[in-house]
Amino acid sequence: MCNYSLECLESRDAVPGERLVTRRFYTGSLGFASPQDPTVAVCLKDRVRLVLREVPKDLQSRLKIRAETVASFRLLQRQRRWWDFWSLGSSEQDTLLFDSGTTILISRLPEGLIADVLLPDSQTALTEKTTTRVHVDR
């Protein structure tokens, strides 16, 4: 889903396996786009998994994540405050949820962050070392 602020832009749905990058659009909103077509906003469906690549060190320490990490895109509902009298009910916020439980709003991500859209069946696209345990009788 695209941010409300990106709805006025030309947009399309994300394709599993593609590489995206965060970009500030002419509306002032930050969202995802393809490096090959940076003027088109790429919309993510709720619970789509992304691999973030080359995460800046300050963001790593703030969110307690690695330079390469997996996150789920979540469209969260937030109850409106009493002073938001011009709006109805609740609002939606585009968020990344990390396996550690920490979250960050898409609008708070740095511009130029690389994200690969995982295939639906993929658990992770990170390269992990496989360890094999061998039981030895004494």
Q: Is the model's pLDDT at 77 over the cut of 80?
A: no
**The pLDDT value given to residue 119:** 82
117-121 long-range contacts (CB < 8 A, ≥24 apart) are: 117/14, 117/15, 117/16, 117/17, 117/18, 117/19, 117/20, 117/44, 117/48, 117/49, 117/50, 118/16, 118/17, 118/48, 118/49, 118/50, 118/51, 118/70, 119/16, 119/17, 120/16
What would the DSSP string read from start to end of 41-53? EEE--TT-EEEEE
In this prediction, residues 94-105 reach a mean pLDDT of 91
In 3-state terms, what secondary structure has residue 112? coil
Of all residues in the chain, the percent with pLDDT exceeding 90 is 57
Give the predicted TM-score (pTM) of the model. Answer: 0.76
The per-residue pLDDT for range 20-76, each reduced to its tens digit, is 999 999 988 899 999 999 999 999 998 999 999 999 999 999 999 999 999 999 987
Q: Are 56 and 66 in contact (CB under 8 A)?
A: no
d(CA 38, CA 22): 9
Q: Where are the domains of the chain?
A: 4-117
pLDDT at residue 62, rounded to an integer: 93
Strands 90-98 and 69-79: antiparallel
Give 131's pLDDT tier (boundaries 50, 70, 90): very low
Least confident of 46-55, 92-101, 108-117, 125-134: 125-134
